Structure 1
Amino acid sequence: MGDGIAWMGALHPTPPSGTPGTTGGISLTLARGVGTDEFLINLGADFDELAARLPSRELTFPAGQLGHHSPLPNCAVYGTCGEWTYVVEHWGMATWATGYQGKAASMLPCEGEEIVCLTANRYNPPALIIHAPGARAHRADFGTDTGQGSPLDAALHAAGAVFPSMPEAAEDEVVAYYEEHGARLPELVFAAVGAYTGVSVDQDAVRNGTLPGILITPAQRPRPASAASTGCR
């Protein structure tokens, strides 16, 4: 498990896909202080599918019914590293981010938990960092920090993932910097989050579909809190 997570950012420009075993357009959600199964159920995981612990390459996408709307399920692979649960998605967004921003009760952060989410945000760019070191979340576009002076912000600066911005820098300086370094920005952001959390995810396991996977359909997001979790949610 020495791959880190910077490789996810390096593959960011690759077109996203919801199918198992792909690596383009990755979004990553990390959570600690909450059980892995509980967190995945809050995202909309099916109880039986979660219990089966099937490798993502063995997941069966349900066939659409003729004449009926059948939303495309999104594949997520998951695992644990240290005290963190990680959820890797390839469909262009992070499920937790869409649910949290939609104020889904099951996805609101709680005291005693910490969530770091890097959502590709392909349908409403730019890509975002969402950091909830408790019950309150802070957002930042890729290339900026959350403004909280947190250890995560320090890691972003140390990795070179915070770019010049106006009005602190002149417009031509900002444009020139993004033109020169912008292609590496996602890789730098993921590297910073890896340094902050210590999380490493095996690239071959994601690519080959050997990590356990779940299917989450749009109809399952958001899920009512009463059906999804206990405690403060």
Structure 2
Amino acid sequence: MGAMPQSVAVCCPACRREHQYAAPSYPCVCGAPVIPPLDPRGVPVAVQHRVWAEEWVSVRCVACGRRGQWPHPELGCPCGTVVRVPVARTPSSADPGAPAAEEPRHRPPFAPVPIRTARDAVTAAALYLRWLGYRDIRRAHQRPPSGIGLAAHGLLAQVDPTMRPASVRDVECLWLTAMTESSLCVYFSLAGYAVDGRARADALGVPLFVLDLTGTPQPVNDHADALAFPTG
């Protein structure tokens, strides 16, 4: 069972109005809820400019030990100010005295399907996402600029079965769409990625996979490695 939401008093830095705030929970791939730990002694700040690095917070799932990036808690004050709520620092596995994470759940070897058509590529990506722990795979409501969109609870994926390397625009569009839905995102490409597209994905934290013709997604960047082979 996941932790219960923590409620803290948050004072708007603009109008000084006080609010009671509880952080939302997000679904880990293991199915357990993940709730950013709030810091009642921290100082709330007004959001003046959006900076990507400040939009996300790293939180470890208490059930499986997986660490993920989730939207930073914010609340909207009636005065019109968006207030960023302080989050407590969570211990990493390298911290002295940090609680040991549970061992990742055992997974059988991934069973790929050969890719001969664009539909096969989408099927391979969907099977891989299920292997990662996402059960409710479906077509995404919003169609991406290229390829096929897949969605699951807390996840948005794009599958590009064309022979054109994914561009920086493709990566940014996926990330922006996922951000508006407070979801993680992942990209699968049959032809790989342009150099600037891969660099942008690294900066935005987007896992990139290349689909080989056996139907086995191969991690391209560190974010994909962390998703496919979590170390806890």
- The question of a shared fold, defined as TM-score above 0.5 by the shorter chain, is answered with no
More strand by percentage: 2
